[in-house]
Structure 1
Amino acid sequence: MEKVQLITKLKTIVQPYIQDEEAFKNLTEETDFVKDLKINSANLVDVILDVEEVFDIRIENDEMEKMLSVKAAMDIVNAKLEAK
């Protein structure tokens, strides 16, 4: 999936869970879900579940542990989509 399209979809998914509006406005690949957007761990699970639903993929536990930034999420989603 194209990078811009993927970032746009991820922004839509994480928006309900963010605590830092300014960091969200400046979201890039380097944005950290917990440190920058202040998404707590319970909501991070919700983000992952939403990502699975939107992209129709299954994210394994070891991948979930790595999915802490926009870049990591993009890498995992792209790998899953390519494997389909």
Structure 2
Amino acid sequence: MKQADLVIDRERHARIRYELALRELNLADIARQAGVGTSAVSSVSIGKSRSAHIESVIAKALGCEAKDLFPDRYKHSGGEDA
């Protein structure tokens, strides 16, 4: 997936933050779990960048799979895009 293919999705970002808050988590908690900075998690969540690892950590925290949370990033051939 190219940088130009990334889609900014503020609604998904807000939903992720809301769902995390329901679980008493936030983006900083996800960052610690993923071993990255909070800005990296925010960037992936909003759609400015792509990281299969961060997507996976977010999805796991929300009890789903990354392909369900970020379907636009996993639409090719049913597998993970790099």
Structures share fold, TM-score greater than 0.5: no
Query: TM-score band, normalised by the shorter chain?
Result: 0.3 to 0.5
Bigger RCO of structures 1 and 2 (CA < 8 A, at least 6 apart): 1
TM-score (norm 1): 0.32
